[in-house]
Structure 1
Amino acid sequence: MKDRPYLYAGALIVVLLATTWAPAQTPRTPPKASWKFTLDFIVQGPQAPFLVALEKGYYADEGLAVTIDRGFGSADAVTKIATGAYNLGYADINSMIEFNARNPGSALVAIAIVLDAPPFSILTLRRENIRQPVDLYGKKLGAPAGDAPRRLWPLFARAVGLLPTSVEWVTMDAPLREPFLIRGEVNAISGFYFTSFLNLKAARVDPADIVAFLYSDYGLPLYGNAIIAPPALLEKDPALVRGFLRAFVRAMKDTVNNPAEAVSLVKKRDPLINDAVELERLILALRNNMLTRDVQVNGFGVAKGERLARSIDLLAEAFQFPSKPRWQQVFTDKFLPPKAERMLPPLR
């Protein structure tokens, strides 16, 4: 398992790719606005709906010229949106809530929940003999500094009976996270389950040897990633914001109806992706994180106030917020399409 140079080659290829995506064709009518949108990470299967909407011209249909850039972690994406480098973007809502609490003058708002069940997880290998979360005590955990599950580790640690300081964190760039675990330089890693599990599998790790602890399995009510924007944009261009979400919901429906087509559209923009891996990753995210029971009942994009309030309480306690925002200050559904238009088809 030590001799894996292809892991580094593949990682470097991904990092060095051109990672800005713009409309493939000039729209028939001049756009009403040009917006820059940041993802949370490199484009993978679960981010496909954003590029489906771009490739099929759904944003253009709403009068928007949208340019999409890869991200470098949710914390980085939140900061870039708040400082005006991007008009809006896609990031972990918990990272946004923490940012808002510490920067009330630059607070952002989530306008659509995309990952209704968060993919936050700790992954290890059976050889490490970590059978339950408490076995992480005294171990080395690896992740990039801005990794959302790493930042949320204090909440998970408390939920499973550990002190947040009971592990040692090792920092590396995202492409090196799984190689560090494979080579034994760390005992476990944090990451999005659908990202790290399939990265390990693609590196020829036997899935039976992968042990995963999902934060959502230990009583944490957290939401995952959301589309977020500054209040100034919502106040200035409410109709265009509604149009953006309308376009995205169209793309979500297309993605659920035909995941393979969605990945093929991503591959048009990024020919070096492994489409088989990204299709598996997309289906895993759709099944476990996007098409939840709540989404089936309430439609795409909404957050339950009580659940979000409990999340804020946990975040405020773990991170010692100077002040605690109300859930109505961090999420609004007023720009989403009507419920009937937000009902997603079942995954076939």
Structure 2
Amino acid sequence: MTLAASRRAVLAGLLAAPAIRPAAAQGAPIRFTLDWTFQGPNAVFLHANRAGYYRAEGLNVTVDAGQGSAGAIQRIVGGAYDMGFADLNSAIEYNANNPSAPIKGVMVLFDAAPFSILTLKHKGIATPKDLEGKTLGAPQFDASFRLFPAFCAATGVDRSKVRVQAMAPPLRETMLVRGEVDFVTGHFYTSILELRARGVPANDIVVFLYSRHGLPFYGNGILASPRMLAERGEQVRGFLRATVRAMRDIVADPTRAIAALKATDPLVDEAIETERLRMALADNVLTERVRRDGWGGAGQDRLAASIEQVSAALDLPRRIAPADLFDAGFLPPAAERMLT
């Protein structure tokens, strides 16, 4: 190749290559982990990304699926991820066992936790007290199962009179339908859909929501590492502003979240995830408190009550303070967090 031809080849390669932008123009990177697979209730983050709301805040966000709230917390505190979507009650447990560097919630997405007990009408379980003498089926790491002692304490159920059958998550609803257990624990919006998919009529499903039986637990929220909060606070604020903007869209039109979900995972069942999202919005997001006070915050008294109940149920070594669990200082003003 002649020198001139060589120069032309190099120039052509430079012109064909993608432009290298300054890091600031690309947006500050935020690695965000979910607590589970891509589903309707966590699609708000996918919609915020797809709609460009995070980019508008100067952020370059990647959203990855997870394998449980405990795993999401480990990802964040271990430094693999900057922020994540996980159960605040799991954070209570983590902080009680790791007081030197507590992970903190900065926004509550589920004002009411989706924890529940489910049974079938023909089992004859009409009140919590009817659970005595029956067999509970649950995965050992299931949040509703782990907090079942708190449900018993709040409702007067003698836990020693309940038999427990451990099982893998995919077997939970199947074993209930087969009659191998009398009731199960789980997120209500998942177990109801799983039971209906197995041919159980909706009017044969009996649900006891923890939130309606004296348990003030918050559900999932946005968690961040101490380093993220200390060193990149403005980015956290921008992330929350964009997430509020996305949730407003979804409350007005849930199909926008499902479109983002489908674009991320083409194999999802749109009808199922739309219904799962609508159930979560109705029971976990748009509560009376959220309609009155705005979305995303957490009351100190309610946090303290939740900490006490979780600590007792899990026999934690210490009681953390609400300030060790949640920092409201990164939230947009309440007037900007109203959902209609």
> TM-score w.r.t. structure 2 length?
0.88
Which aligned pairs between 1:59-138 and structure 2 lie closer than 5 A?
59-138=54-133
Among 284, 289, 299, the alignment partner of 1:304 is 299
Match of 1:230 among 217, 225, 240: 225
Quick one: structure 1 residues 260 and 139, their matched pair in 2 at CA, closer, same or farther if it must change by over 3 Å? same
Query: TM-score if structure 1 supplies the norm length?
Result: 0.86
* Structure 2, unpaired ranges of 5+: 1-20
Matches within 5 A, 1:1-348: 30-345=25-340
Judged with a 3 Å threshold, the aligned counterparts in structure 2 of structure 1 residues 139 and 76 are, in CA distance, closer, same or farther, namely: farther
Q: Which sits farther off after the overlay, 166-175 or 248-257? A: 166-175
Larger Rg: 2
**How many Å apart are 1:128 and its aligned residue?**
2.2
Q: CA deviation at 1:29?
A: 6.5
- Alpha-carbon spacing, 1:238–1:215, altered in 2? closer, same or farther (3 Å): same
Hey, what's the Cα distance between the residues in 1 that align with 2:145 and 2:96?
19
Indicate the RMSD between aligned Cα atoms, in angstroms.
2.0
Aligned-residue offset at 1:259:
0.5
Over the matched positions of the two proteins, sequence identity in percent amounts to: 48
- Please report how far the alpha carbon of residue 300 of structure 1 lies from its aligned counterpart in structure 2 after TM superposition: 1.1
Runs of 4+ with deviation above 4 angstroms:
26-29
SS at match of 2:239: helix
Task: After TM superposition, give the deviation of residue 28 of structure 1 in Å.
Answer: 11
Could you list the runs of 5+ residues in structure 1 that have no partner in the other structure?
A: 1-25
1:169-192 per-position Cα deviation (integer Å, ceiling 9, x unaligned): 333333332222222232211111
Counterparts of 1:44 and 1:277 in 2: how far apart (Å)?
A: 9
1:16-48 deviation digits (Å, cap 9, x = unpaired):
xxxxxxxxxx99964343222221222221112
Task: Name whichever of 271-280 and 299-308 sits farther off.
Answer: 271-280
SS at match of 1:105: coil
Equivalent pair of 2:75/2:81 in contact (CA under 8 Å): yes
Q: 1:334, 1:202 → 2: CA distance?
A: 43
- Structure 2 CA distance for aligned equivalents of residues 36 and 166 of structure 1: 45
Give a deviation string over 1:98-154, Cα, whole Å, max 9, x none.
111111123210100110011110001123222222222243322333221111111
From the superposition, tell whether residues 35 and 144 of structure 1 become closer, same or farther in structure 2 (CA, over 3 Å): farther
Q: 1:30 to 1:185 in 2, by over 3 A?
A: farther
CA distance in structure 1 between the partners assigned to 2:250 and 2:170 by the alignment: 26
Cα distance change of structure 1 residues 196 and 77 upon mapping to structure 2, 3 Å threshold: same
User: Which string of whole-angstrom CA distances, capped at 9 and with x for unpartnered residues, describes residues 72-115 of structure 1?
Assistant: 22222223222223221111111111111111123210100110
Cα distance, 1:165 vs. partner? 4.2
Note if contact 2:132-2:159 (Cα within 8 Å) is conserved in structure 1. Answer: no
